[in-house]
């Protein structure tokens, strides 16, 4: 087991269930990169993808730092369980995600992710990780992997604890990639202008429910590039349920692997009109793809974990927006703070006219509406944001727009609803007689 550092640090620590362990960590270190070097890599990745938003880029863990598969440094806790601690350092990173490829991980295992010395942590169970890997394996030929929650800072601590009586020797832990973030979700780009009152959701309390339904969806490619889109929590027609359906763009989440890497961020917005942006609340664990349609750029996903308690669900309305309709959208331009945009529907477009068609597209069918922007232009990161009418009903999802921000395209919702989305949202999706939640 040549090359890995152990111990990284020692001392007693109390796990979430109260068991005391000795922290003898497997420490992995990436070579230092200055912030300017990281930004240069981001710029190169953005240019290589034709302008797709990138917050992070992929890095490999040097092979000589990894232990042999059968030599993981498991240790016994004082209650007889086995635990493994790993710390990953990437100097000057703003945040880190690590890709895991575990084998023979019990469903009842616990995985805890945090920054070293931080009380804030994400705890996931082995069942969620295994289900994610199984969904990826069933969906395509690529080797499945599981992306960790995003940990702010330049170090990520992972603690895996096996259930009592579990033999650690069959367990394996592949670490194929790291995503090194140069900017965190909710942080504006360095050259971003201050959010104006017209576009600050906190200045428009009548849009609070829709603001709490909008989520920034962080995702990571298998090679480690991290991007983001916007989605909206959409209600079904059963008032007794809060199933976390998210409506977003197909071009953001074209396959199960991309959806499995999702970490959703809510409330990345000012808490008071003109005030500072809050820390937000995140939910890792990915999502399952329920429906995809390229010709309307529609994706319906189901999050694997519930959203934050204060998140809201909004109703969609399966109608084609009328020409001249005044609309609004809540989105995260450049994966920064949430903004409120205003626009007017100006014309209808086929998928050929916007150059985004699926294999079985009807070339004559209306797939999109064009809107003329009045305020709050969308940007990379806004893709997938919902288009709302004055009654606060969701009518479509953002595909993109002109470079200067004068106009945008939104995929219509009514066609995919009739095509199959109603299977999950139900026939009464408009919410007639239904109590909002």
Q: Tens digits of per-residue pLDDT, 343-376?
A: 999 999 999 999 999 988 899 999 999 999 999 9
Taking 50 as the threshold, does the pLDDT of residue 91 lie above it?
yes
Provide the pairing of β-strand 245-248 with 146-147. unpaired
Q: What are the tokens at 179?
A: 């995503």
Q: What are the tokens at 379?
A: 């940007």
CB atoms within 10 A of CB 272: 10
* Structure-token match 């790291």, residue found: 178
Higher pLDDT, 101 or 44: 101
Taking 60 as the threshold, does the pLDDT of residue 381 lie above it?
yes
Query: 284-320: per-residue pLDDT in tens?
Result: 999 999 999 999 999 999 999 999 999 999 999 999 9
Q: Which residues partner with 214 through β-bridges?
A: 232
- Sort residue 334 into left (φ over 0), alpha (ψ -120 to 50) or beta: left
Rounded Cα distance between 43 and 22, Å, is: 42
Q: Which residues partner with 339 through β-bridges?
A: 331
Q: What is the 3-state secondary structure (H, E, C) of the chain?
A: CCCCECCCCCCEEECCCCCEEECCCEEEECCCCCHHHHHHHHHHHHHHCCCCCCCEEEECCCHHHCCCCCCCCCEECCCCCEEEEEEEECCCCCEEEEEEEEECCCCCCEEEEECCCCCCEEEEEHHHHHHHHHHHHHHCCCCCCEECCCEECCEEEEEEECCCCCCCCCCEEECCCEEEECCCCCCCCCCCCCCCHHHCHHHCHHHHHHHHHEEEEEEECCCCCEEEEEEEEECCCCCCCCCCEEEECCCCCCCHHHHHCCEEEECCCECCCCCCECCCEEECCCEEEEEEEHHHCEEEEEECCCCCCCCCCECECCCCCCCCCEEEEEECHHHCCCEEEEEEEEEEEEHHHHCCCCCCCCCCCEEEEEEEEEECCCCCCCCCCEEECCCCCEEEEEEEECCCCCEEEEEECHHHHHHHHHHHHCCCCCCCCCCCC
- Asked if residue 108 lies in contact with residue 127, where contact means CB atoms within 8 angstroms, the answer is yes
The radius of gyration of the chain's CA atoms, rounded to the nearest angstrom, is: 22
Rounded Cα distance between 279 and 395, Å, is: 29
Q: Which residues partner with 371 through β-bridges?
A: 345, 408
- Asked if residue 207 lies in contact with residue 328, where contact means CB atoms within 8 angstroms, the answer is yes
pLDDT recorded at residue 43: 86
Higher pLDDT, 435 or 315: 315
Residue 82 phi, psi (nearest 5): -110, 140
Nearest to residue 214, comparing CAs of 185, 255, 247, 261?
247
pLDDT band with cut points at 50, 70 and 90 for residue 229:
very high
Give the rounded distance of the alpha carbon of 179 from its chain centre.
14
Percent of the chain with pLDDT over 90: 76
Rounded Cα distance between 292 and 39, Å, is: 33
pLDDT recorded at residue 21: 35
pLDDT recorded at residue 404: 79
pLDDT recorded at residue 195: 76
Query: 16-57: per-residue pLDDT in tens?
Result: 333 333 357 899 999 999 888 998 998 888 887 777 899 999
Percent of the chain with pLDDT over 70: 93
pLDDT band with cut points at 50, 70 and 90 for residue 430:
low
pLDDT recorded at residue 360: 84
Taking 60 as the threshold, does the pLDDT of residue 8 lie above it?
no
* Structure-token match 């999802």, residue found: 397
> Mean pLDDT across the stretch 409-434?
83
**HSE, side-chain direction, 13 A CA sphere, residue 363:** 1
> Mean pLDDT across the stretch 219-245?
95
> Mean pLDDT across the stretch 245-257?
97
Highest mean pLDDT pick, 47-56, 74-83, 226-235: 226-235
Rounded Cα distance between 361 and 342, Å, is: 30
pLDDT recorded at residue 103: 94
Rounded Cα distance between 14 and 381, Å, is: 39
CB atoms within 10 A of CB 354: 17
pLDDT band with cut points at 50, 70 and 90 for residue 81:
very high
Taking 60 as the threshold, does the pLDDT of residue 433 lie above it?
no
Domains in the chain: ranges and CATH: 20-181 (2.60.120), 187-437 (2.40.10.120)
Nearest to residue 361, comparing CAs of 291, 289, 293?
293
Taking 50 as the threshold, does the pLDDT of residue 396 lie above it?
yes
> Mean pLDDT across the stretch 147-170?
96
> Mean pLDDT across the stretch 157-169?
95
Q: What Cα–Cα distance (Å) separates residue 157 from each residue in 97, 130, 437?
A: 11, 20, 37
């Amino acid at each position: 087991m040549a090359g890995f550092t152990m111990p990284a640090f020692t001392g007693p620590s109390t796990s979430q269930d109260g068991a005391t362990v000795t922290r003898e960590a497997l420490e992995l270190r990436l070579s230092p990169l200055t912030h300017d070097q990281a930004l240069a890599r981001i710029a190169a990745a953005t240019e290589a993808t034709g302008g797709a938003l990138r917050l992070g880029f992929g890095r490999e863990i040097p092979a000589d730092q990894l232990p042999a598969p059968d030599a993981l440094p498991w240790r016994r806790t004082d209650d007889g369980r086995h635990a493994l601690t790993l710390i990953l350092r990437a100097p000057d990173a703003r945040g880190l995600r690590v890709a895991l490829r575990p084998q023979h991980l019990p469903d009842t295992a616990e995985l805890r992710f945090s920054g070293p010395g931080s009380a804030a942590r994400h705890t996931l169970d082995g069942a969620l990780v295994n289900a994610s890997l199984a969904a990826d394996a069933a969906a395509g030929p690529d080797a499945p992997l599981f992306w960790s929650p995003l940990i702010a800072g330049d170090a990520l601590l992972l603690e895996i604890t096996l259930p009592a009586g579990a033999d650690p020797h069959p367990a394996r832990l592949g670490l194929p990639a790291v995503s090194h973030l140069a900017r965190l979700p909710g942080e504006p780009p360095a050259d971003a202008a201050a959010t104006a009152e017209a576009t600050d959701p906190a200045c428009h309390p009548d849009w609070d429910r829709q603001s709490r339904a909008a989520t920034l969806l962080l995702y990571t490619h298998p090679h480690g590039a991290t991007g983001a889109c916007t989605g909206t929590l959409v209600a079904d027609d059963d008032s007794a349920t809060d199933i976390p359906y998210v409506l977003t763009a197909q071009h953001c989440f074209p396959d199960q692997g991309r959806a499995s890497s999702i970490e959703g961020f809510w409330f990345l917005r000012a808490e008071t009109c003109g005030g500072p942006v809050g820390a937000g609340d995140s939910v890792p664990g990915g999502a399952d793809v329920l429906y995809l349609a390229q010709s309307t750029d529609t994706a319906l996903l189901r999050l694997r974990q519930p959203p934050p308690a204060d998140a809201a669900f909004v109703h969609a309305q399966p109608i084609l927006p009328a020409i001249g309709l005044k609309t609004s959208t809540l989105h995260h331009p450049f994966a920064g703070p949430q903004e409120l945009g205003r626009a007017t529907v100006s014309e209808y477009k086929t998928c050929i006219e916007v150059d985004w068609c699926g294999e079985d597209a009807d070339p004559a069918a209306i797939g999109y509406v064009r809107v003329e922007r009045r305020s709050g232009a969308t940007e990379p990161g806004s893709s997938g944001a919902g288009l709302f009418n004055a009654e606060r009903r969701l009518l479509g999802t953002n595909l993109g727009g002109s470079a200067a921000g004068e106009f945008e395209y939104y995929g219509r919702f009514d066609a995919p609803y009739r095509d199959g989305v109603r299977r999950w949202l139900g026939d009464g999706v408009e919410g007639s007689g239904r109590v909002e939640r």
